[in-house]
Structure 1
Amino acid sequence: MTQAPDTAARRLVETLVINGVDHVFCVPGESYLAVLDALYDVRDQIKLVICRHEAGAANMAEAYGKLTGRPGICMVTRGPGATHASIGVHTAHQDSTPMILFVGQVGLADRGRGAFQEVDYREVFGGLAKWATEIESPERTVEVVERAFATALQGRMGPVVIALPEDILHDQGGPEPKQAVTPARAALSPAFLAELNERLSKAERPLLVLGGSGWTDEAAMAIGDWSERLGLPVALSFRRKDILSNDRPNYAGDLGLGCNPKLTARAKGADLIIALGARLGENPTQGYSLFDRTETGGRLVHIHPGPEELGRVWPTLMAAVSDNSLAALALSELKPGRSWHDEAETAHADYLAFSTSVAVTGAVNMSECMKTLGEVLEPTAVVTNGAGNFAAWLHRFYGHKACRTQLAPTSGAMGYGVPAAVAAAIMEPGRQVVNIAGDGDFMMTAQELATLVQYDAKAVFVVVDNGTYGTIRMHQERDYPARVSGTDLKNPDFVRFAEAFGLTAARVETTEGFRPALEAALAADGPALIHLITSPEDIAPGRTISQLRAG
């Protein structure tokens, strides 16, 4: 069947093209075959990446949004396809990542009948997405998709979900798109900047906290250079360690899970905190205990692209709505007339001490392995991870050196790292891509290795295998010592598993064996996997199960 040139499906695809979309991540479905057919005609402009599970497709689209700052596009079918993909939407919402999920839907004529795989997507995704809608008038297709781009990119970035009733995709789609969406960007006012400069000039112990999404290389470099010139200590928010090089002499560390106690003390003792882009949610504020609501009104300057985040938890001394990059460029022009190099030196020394390798009981020291990772990888290498205690070793002991080199979910989603690595490897074949995954984390989306191989992409996967769901086991041993229930894992031979997909693979059981295995994996002609055997006793940096059981 040949489609007419002006159907809603074709208008949808035309709108993607004019807005610069170059990748679409999908699991195909009969409910949106008309869109897949329209994508065939632009296959030289949009690469259609066929995934093995909708969660993988959605996570790949989210990773695309993190890497590019443009909406990642995901397409799935109705019902189970959409609900599988919801994990990526949740991550995009928590992580402020631009993303658009297109979901096939039952025909308009059958809506409300409980038709096969019918779901009310406005209801299901209403709390997960910035906007969830359904195209009900085919002639408004371009309007709806353009609004999706604007919504995903403006203010606090995030995901949009659009349901596509199967029948209207064949109808006349209305006017064609004329131009790309240009999102609105708020900027700091001269009056705000002048007042901030005055307050900064009087601060004795200031701290700059950077976070959020949408950072440009120029803006990150500008505020990094500015803060370094002033000796202004900088902390990065949870899983935003790649905004600035961690080698900068004023870098104080990251405010996340397992935070350096000295950084926590520095934040508590700062007389002026400038938080740019960071929402200051639960993890960066150590379970909302880092600050006291009764006193933040006297020292917190909060700048964020989403007005709903200002004053949401913490009263402020000053607050402003601004795009993160525009705000960073504006701040980099301030001249407070003083510096804090002694504070910066102490803060960075505290970071270096905290990121020094720690002792372990087993044959593999993950702190040493993550140090080795930093020594071997190129500065622009992309490192991905999902969630689990294995990530604590990565975030504490691996230092990022360039912007957009970290793909990690602030949502704490297991299974994110594998598809994120696959997406990065497909998008940017010239960059090194390494995924660090726990054994439980890896198995949640391991089928996407097939996607990697199908597109001749190259990445290295390090599976940290301790035979347990480590984070839950740690809390279990703390609260219910020696009563192991529901956390032990029986794993496959990950070397043979990887080889079945066409990867080269090696098993590593000692710290000394990691470097040669990593170097060999990076030098391999195609993708590779390292099966890294660790002891469950070394449950987290500086913590063992025996210590937890002893109280």
Structure 2
Amino acid sequence: MTKRTGGRILVDQLIAQGVDRIFSVPGESYLAVLDALHDSPEIDNVICRQEGGVAYMADADGKMTGRPGIAFVTRGPGATNASGGVHVAMQDSTPMILFIGDVARGDHDREGFQEIDFPDFFRPICKWAAKIDDAARIPEYVARAFRVASSGRPGPVVLALPEDMLRDEVEATDRPAITPAPISPDPGGVGALMELLKDAASPIAIVGGADWCPCAGHHFASWAERIGLPVAAAFRRQDAVNNASPVYAGQLGYGPNPKLQQRIRDADLIIAVGARMGESTTDGYTLVTPDHPDQILVHVHPDPNEISRVYRTDLPIVSDMAEFAQVVDAWEDDDLVPFSTGAEAHREWREWSDPKPRDGVALDLGPCVAAMREKLPADTIICNGAGNFSGWWHRYWHYGEQPTQLAPTSGTMGYGAPASVAAAIRFPDRKVVCVAGDGDFLMNGQELATAASRGADLLIILVDNGTYGTIRMHQERDYPDRVSGTDLGAGNPDFVKFAEAFGGWGERITTTEEFGPALDRALEKKGIRLLHCLTDVEIITNSTTISALKSR
């Protein structure tokens, strides 16, 4: 064998695993990797402006491809900046690997320059964290990282790379590409599910999450449509099935359709497929309680450790999502009488997702979303971070087949802009829209520089109400008329000029009537386009106002 540097060995392993793109901010602690990438045209290195953007882009890429998104950052502040994206990948069950350049091995435990014990730091928020001290073992560690990130409940892996280890020249045996080991559902379990359906009066499915993919969405929707089973999406998993499906019932989480919530409460059989049944999806574990008396819970998940972790599970089924969906889609049972509730739930969602104009509102976002539905294709990718602004799209946008929604279930701010850049690079022929609030956007708006450097084609809908709206909402509910720490005042920039500073185009919008024509002008252009929508903080959500909150 020929000796190679640790940096060269590492890049060779990424190529062997089929990696075609990484996201990074350079650092002196992994110069040997950057040197190896110089001679590796197989890998596209997307240079970002801040490590938070790096991690969010890697998470978004993992969501879109189903393969681990790859991020590289340097030690100390680089790694801590990226930690938010690791947390997102963990809570969102996204396959991702973060590589961190580290101090030299001989300097460990001296609190050297930017030194952190990375395995200890990241272990609580990832699936596996380790440090590679021997360059000859890089193939072993990388292969294990891909296996861990992709298997069971997918999630992030963190590997620290001492800089002197990356410079070592050693012999190493490459590992072949990790191929998924599919887990098929137990036929007895599927048969038991079908028997439960025969006895059920008001069943409902909650889908999306770990290991979900377009194949799963297609086959699960096909089966649900055949038997008339209502299908609700877990929080921010609205592209789990095409919303045009005649049994799609809408999303759970924050601001769901009250009729859907009641349908969940009245259900005698709940089939959770891929979903963790987390706090957001279950409205603080109250919509479906962990012990759910008078309800039967079937939980289908690729990780046996997730089943019964929080919720009492009456019928556990361990399976890959695609395998399970294909099995139930092919299952034939003439004794299973189709339900009428699927069509009823879909009609209720269509009514809920049809925006009604609100009187006395200068810029009403509901009709704006309706205008977007008319002018943008069904495979448009909508990207957003956290904030009340996102509720208008969660309620009124109709999502197509996965991937058409990039939104963190962890509720992190600043996700939408970097996610939209990753989407525009991954799918240059599709429409990509970043929906952001003013506070949300400025947390990672600098990644427009990355978009400009890559010639990315994306549209930004920036909703500006001059406040941290979600927190203001809670504040007015719990401490009315005592606004503190949420008003952004006159601190916001001219967002149109901000977009223009990166070579983009922008337009300011103050009324509902201005939105449609401005959107037309934006869609005629390429590159970075931004619609700066100035809204009234009084209209705090798509269904209530600050005045209404105070009156309660």
Both proteins in one fold, TM over 0.5: yes
Please say if residues 14 and 176 of structure 1, whose CA atoms lie closer than 8 Å, have aligned partners that are also in contact. Answer: no
Report how far residue 188 of structure 1 moved.
Answer: 0.6
Aligned to 2:234: 237
Aligned to 1:398: 397
Please say if residues 304 and 320 of structure 1, whose CA atoms lie closer than 8 Å, have aligned partners that are also in contact. Answer: yes
SS at match of 2:513: coil
Which ranges in structure 2 are unaligned for 5 or more consecutive residues?
A: none
Q: Which TM-score applies when normalising by structure 1?
A: 0.97
Query: Does 1:220 pair with 2:217?
Result: yes
Aligned to 1:90: 87
Aligned to 2:530: 529
Query: Does 1:113 pair with 2:129?
Result: no
Please say if residues 362 and 537 of structure 1, whose CA atoms lie closer than 8 Å, have aligned partners that are also in contact. Answer: no
Query: Does 1:317 pair with 2:314?
Result: yes
* Counterpart among 13, 28, 42 of residue 15 in structure 1: 13
Report how far residue 176 of structure 1 moved.
Answer: 3.5
Aligned to 1:482: 481
CA RMSD of aligned residues (A): 1.4
In 2, Cα distance between equivalents of 1:548 and 1:12: 55
Aligned to 2:181: 184
* Counterpart among 143, 149, 152 of residue 149 in structure 2: 152
Amino acid at match of 2:344: T
Aligned to 2:544: 543
Aligned to 1:143: 140
Aligned to 1:424: 423
Report how far residue 298 of structure 1 moved.
Answer: 5.0
Equivalences for residues 480-519 of structure 1 within 5 A? 480-489=479-488, 490-519=491-520
Amino acid at match of 1:64: D
In 1, Cα distance between equivalents of 2:359 and 2:382: 24
Amino acid at match of 1:374: R
Equivalences for residues 365-380 of structure 1 within 5 A? 365-380=364-379
Aligned to 1:45: 42
The percent identity for this pair of structures is 50
Report how far residue 341 of structure 1 moved.
Answer: 4.4
Equivalences for residues 458-477 of structure 1 within 5 A? 458-477=457-476
Please say if residues 303 and 320 of structure 1, whose CA atoms lie closer than 8 Å, have aligned partners that are also in contact. Answer: yes
In 2, Cα distance between equivalents of 1:37 and 1:471: 45
Report how far residue 178 of structure 1 moved.
Answer: 4.2
In 1, Cα distance between equivalents of 2:30 and 2:536: 47
In 2, Cα distance between equivalents of 1:522 and 1:89: 34
In 1, Cα distance between equivalents of 2:293 and 2:146: 35
| Alpha-carbon displacement from aligned partner over 1:82-126 (angstroms, at most 9, x marks no partner) | 000001100000000000000000000100111000000011101
SS at match of 1:228: helix
SS at match of 1:309: coil
In 2, Cα distance between equivalents of 1:285 and 1:470: 23
* Counterpart among 64, 72, 77 of residue 75 in structure 1: 72
Distance 1:295 1:484, change over 3 A: closer
In 2, Cα distance between equivalents of 1:83 and 1:289: 34
Deviates more, 1:513-522 or 1:76-85: 513-522
Q: Which TM-score applies when normalising by structure 2?
A: 0.97
Amino acid at match of 1:311: S
Amino acid at match of 1:434: V
Aligned to 1:303: 300
| Alpha-carbon displacement from aligned partner over 1:143-162 (angstroms, at most 9, x marks no partner) | 00110000000000000000
Report how far residue 5 of structure 1 moved.
Answer: 5.6
Distance 1:498 1:294, change over 3 A: closer
Which ranges in structure 1 are unaligned for 5 or more consecutive residues?
A: none
Please say if residues 212 and 274 of structure 2, whose CA atoms lie closer than 8 Å, have aligned partners that are also in contact. Answer: no
Deviates more, 1:333-342 or 1:299-308: 333-342
Aligned to 1:348: 346
Query: Does 1:195 pair with 2:192?
Result: yes
Distance 1:53 1:88, change over 3 A: same
In 2, Cα distance between equivalents of 1:40 and 1:343: 58
Amino acid at match of 2:353: S
Report how far residue 524 of structure 1 moved.
Answer: 0.4
Please say if residues 459 and 529 of structure 2, whose CA atoms lie closer than 8 Å, have aligned partners that are also in contact. Answer: yes
Amino acid at match of 1:203: A
Report how far residue 202 of structure 1 moved.
Answer: 2.0
Please say if residues 59 and 416 of structure 1, whose CA atoms lie closer than 8 Å, have aligned partners that are also in contact. Answer: yes
* Counterpart among 32, 40, 45 of residue 30 in structure 2: 32
Amino acid at match of 1:37: D
Equivalences for residues 201-216 of structure 1 within 5 A? 201-216=198-213
Report how far residue 297 of structure 1 moved.
Answer: 7.9
Deviates more, 1:291-300 or 1:155-164: 291-300
Amino acid at match of 2:269: L
Please say if residues 153 and 211 of structure 2, whose CA atoms lie closer than 8 Å, have aligned partners that are also in contact. Answer: no
SS at match of 2:512: coil
Report how far residue 349 of structure 1 moved.
Answer: 1.6
| Alpha-carbon displacement from aligned partner over 1:251-290 (angstroms, at most 9, x marks no partner) | 1111111111111111111111111000001011111001
Please say if residues 210 and 301 of structure 2, whose CA atoms lie closer than 8 Å, have aligned partners that are also in contact. Answer: no
